Chains A and B, each alone.
Chain A
Amino acid sequence: DVKVTQSSRYLVKRTGEKVFLECVQDMDHENMFWYRQDPGLGLRLIYFSYDVKMKEKGDIPEGYSVSREKKERFSLILESASTNQTSMYLCASTKDRVRTGELFFGEGSRLTVL
């Protein structure tokens, strides 16, 4: 079975802390994504990557960075967490371009910044 694993389901951090959210997929997918999900706003794309060491900004990249050193792993980094980054973060991957392919999602990481 296809699997996307996010390292932490729940995190609580303090303002100003550096936060790492890890995502690993076991499907040999080229494309990986980070979305954040907020009530009333749906899912918004933060960053995505279509190859190792490649990254592209999504709609809301400010305050975030990413790292893709290996094909199976895509990390989201909050350099200095702020309270407005309290959210649910969803990682996803796909092999094909999503015109025909399917995105596979992890279970999400709920981050609270105090």
Chain B
Amino acid sequence: GNSVTQMEGPVTLSEEAFLTINCTYTATGYPSLFWYVQYPGEGLQLLLKATKADDKGSNKGFEATYRKETTSFHLEKGSVQVSDSAVYFCALSDLANQAGTALIFGKGTTLSVSS
């Protein structure tokens, strides 16, 4: 079945460091790919998305490119801030689902940025 695997956390970085959070997926067909972020005490919110191969999603300095050949959607940011401390979830749309409406999430990666 469809699945998402993302790197284990926690990831601990100093402010202004480069961030990569790896995400790979297994899917039939051509799913859309997403990164969601959960700040402490809040629900999840969409960070960025890509709907087809080679698309690059970007938002708030974060980027991820939909790589069909490597089935990956790695999240990157050139210079992290303390305010980026959160849990990051990679997700894909479950095309096997009849209604085509559900997302499959990875287990989440906790990022902690110190000043």
Please report A residues at the B interface, Cβ cutoff 8 Å: 4, 31, 33, 35, 40-45, 48, 50, 56, 58, 90, 92, 94, 97-100, 102-103, 105-108
B-side interface mostly: loop
Q: Which residue of B lies closest to A100 (CB)?
A: B51
Q: Which 8 A-B pairs have the closest CB atoms?
A: A105-B43, A42-B107, A43-B105, A97-B100, A105-B44, A50-B99, A31-B101, A98-B93
Q: Select one of A45, A50, A58, A90 contacting B44, CB under 8 A.
A: A90
Q: Select one of A92, A97, A105, A107 contacting B99, CB under 8 A.
A: A97
Please report B residues at the A interface, Cβ cutoff 8 Å: 31-32, 36, 41-46, 49, 51, 89, 93-95, 97-108
Q: How far is the CB of B96 from chain A (nearest CB, A)?
A: 12
Contact: B103 with A98, CB < 8 Å? Answer: yes
The tally of CB-CB contacts under 8 A between chains A and B is 68
Contact: B102 with A45, CB < 8 Å? Answer: yes
Contacting residues, chain B, for A97 (C-beta < 8 A): 93, 99-101
Contacting residues, chain A, for B41 (C-beta < 8 A): 107
Q: Select one of B43, B51, B104 contacting A90, CB under 8 A.
A: B43
Q: Which residue of B lies closest to A107 (CB)?
A: B43
Contact: B101 with A42, CB < 8 Å? Answer: no
In the complex, 15 of the A-B residue pairs with CB atoms within 8 angstroms, ordered by the A residue number, are A4-B43, A31-B101, A33-B102, A42-B105, A42-B107, A43-B44, A43-B105, A43-B108, A48-B99, A90-B43, A99-B32, A102-B46, A105-B43, A107-B42, A107-B43
Q: How far is the CB of B92 from chain A (nearest CB, A)?
A: 9
Q: How far is the CB of B12 from chain A (nearest CB, A)?
A: 17
Q: Which residue of A lies closest to B94 (CB)?
A: A98
Q: Select one of A44, A50, A102 contacting B49, CB under 8 A.
A: A102
Q: How far is the CB of B110 from chain A (nearest CB, A)?
A: 9
Contact: A48 with B43, CB < 8 Å? Answer: no
Q: How far is the CB of B47 from chain A (nearest CB, A)?
A: 10
Q: How far is the CB of B41 from chain A (nearest CB, A)?
A: 8
Cα separation A23 to B104 with both chains bound (whole Å):
21
Contact: B43 with A98, CB < 8 Å? Answer: no
Cα separation A38 to B98 with both chains bound (whole Å):
26
